[in-house]
């Protein structure tokens, strides 16, 4: 194992997966795990400088490493240049400007693992890649159906797919995922269609149904975002067949056919405004002070006709 690894991600699930790989490797070698507070440079110095007495080794884990004080960073640099036998360090940091400064301070003394959550519209590709890494085939359409049904929370998607792969053999195809996820997917589509038709009463009614059954709020926003992207692509664009547009955008022809109809409800300014509203809602839903009315206000604003 490398003596020191820095894990940086803007998504807690991706960071935890990277750390789990290190833990798995360390456990396999008989290492014991120890957590150190990022603000305690003295404890970090002692942990890194003390060889293991009873175990094969020790994995020292420091969360929120972007908050390491200067003296703790110096401790890490010294350790990485001259590591103690049987001691391995894992630093986990949130992706931000402080993490960027930490990378510069540590230089090449640590092994860097950096990851970023996919954009909402790229989540199906992320999911398909994850399935393929388990040596299973999956169609883009099947991955899209799963995301449409469950939303874009990576942990939830990963758990659902892991369970699915444990229960079925062979490829993950459209028929298989429709059988498992189609009911919820249909409700999401009905909601998105109501919003894009700018039918405010129906949109709010269907939103309440999704929220009451526990549908992921960020996933709801992502579903709207994906369909608005298709509407924007076909609005006043070159006239092509739905199949051609679907291939170009990596979506299903049915979504494009609906977008051609829905595009009549929006002008260019409406589409720009909807993008801003969706972006603001996404930020609000990911904040600690989440407002339960974010989705209601979002739907009311997009469906309101000037």
* Average pLDDT along the chain, 306 residues, taken 10 residues at a time: 92 90 86 88 88 75 93 91 89 93 91 91 92 93 84 81 85 86 70 92 91 81 89 83 81 82 92 92 76 88 87
* Secondary structure of residue 38 in the 3-state scheme: coil
Would you state the pLDDT for residue 267?
92
Would you state the pLDDT for residue 236?
75
The CATH number of the structural domain formed by 4-115 is 3.40.50.300
Would you state the pLDDT for residue 49?
83
Instruction: Enumerate the β-bridge partners of residue 88.
Output: 59
Report how far residue 58's alpha carbon sits from residue 89's, in angstroms, rounded to the nearest whole number: 8
Residues of the chain with CATH 1.20.272.10: 121-303
Report how far residue 110's alpha carbon sits from residue 123's, in angstroms, rounded to the nearest whole number: 30
Would you state the pLDDT for residue 164?
85
Would you state the pLDDT for residue 287?
73
Q: Where are the beta strands (DSSP E) in 12-56?
A: 31-35
Residues of the chain with CATH 3.40.50.300: 4-115
Token pair for 187: 């409700």
Quick count: other Cβ atoms within 10 Å of Cβ 17? Answer: 16
- What is the H or E stretch that residue 112 is in? strand 111-115
Sheet holding 57-62, edge to edge: 31-35, 57-62, 87-94, 4-9, 111-115
Would you state the pLDDT for residue 288?
59
Q: Phi and psi at residue 39, in whole multiples of 5°?
A: -85, -10
The pTM of the full predicted model, rounded to 2 decimals, is 0.61
Would you state the pLDDT for residue 73?
92
Q: Are 164 and 138 in contact (CB under 8 A)?
A: no
The CATH number of the structural domain formed by 121-303 is 1.20.272.10
- What is the H or E stretch that residue 88 is in? strand 87-94
């Amino acid at each position: 194992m490398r003596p020191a690894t820095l894990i940086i991600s803007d998504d807690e699930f991706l960071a935890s997966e990277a750390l789990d790989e290190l833990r798995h490797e360390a456990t396999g070698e008989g290492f014991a795990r120890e957590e150190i507070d990022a603000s305690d440079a003295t404890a970090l110095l002692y942990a890194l400088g003390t060889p293991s007495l009873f175990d094969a080794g020790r994995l020292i884990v420091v969360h929120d490493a972007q908050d390491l004080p200067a003296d703790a960073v110096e401790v890490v640099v010294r350790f990485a240049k001259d590591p103690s036998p049987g001691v391995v360090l894992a630093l986990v940091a949130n992706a931000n400007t402080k993490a960027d400064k930490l990378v510069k301070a540590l230089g090449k003394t640590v092994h860097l693992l950096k990851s970023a959550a996919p954009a909402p519209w790229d989540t199906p590709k992320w999911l398909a890649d994850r399935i393929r890494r388990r040596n299973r085939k999956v169609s883009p359409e099947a991955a899209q159906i799963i995301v449409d049904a469950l939303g874009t929370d990576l942990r939830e998607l990963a758990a659902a797919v892991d369970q699915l792969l444990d229960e079925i053999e062979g490829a993950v195809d459209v028929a298989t995922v429709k059988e498992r996820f189609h009911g919820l997917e249909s409700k999401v589509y009905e909601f998105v269609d109501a919003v894009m038709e700018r039918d405010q009463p129906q949109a709010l009614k269907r939103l309440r149904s999704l929220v009451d059954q526990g549908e992921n709020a960020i996933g709801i926003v992502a579903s709207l975002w994906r369909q608005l992207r298709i509407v924007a692509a076909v609005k006043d664009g070159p006239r092509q067949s739905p199949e051609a547009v679907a291939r170009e955008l990596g979506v299903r022809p049915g979504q494009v056919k609906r977008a051609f109809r829905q595009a009549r409800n929006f002008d260019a300014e409406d589409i720009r405004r909807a993008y801003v509203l969706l972006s603001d809602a996404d930020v609000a839903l990911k904040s600690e002070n989440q407002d339960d009315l974010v989705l209601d206000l979002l739907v009311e604003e997009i469906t309101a006709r000037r």
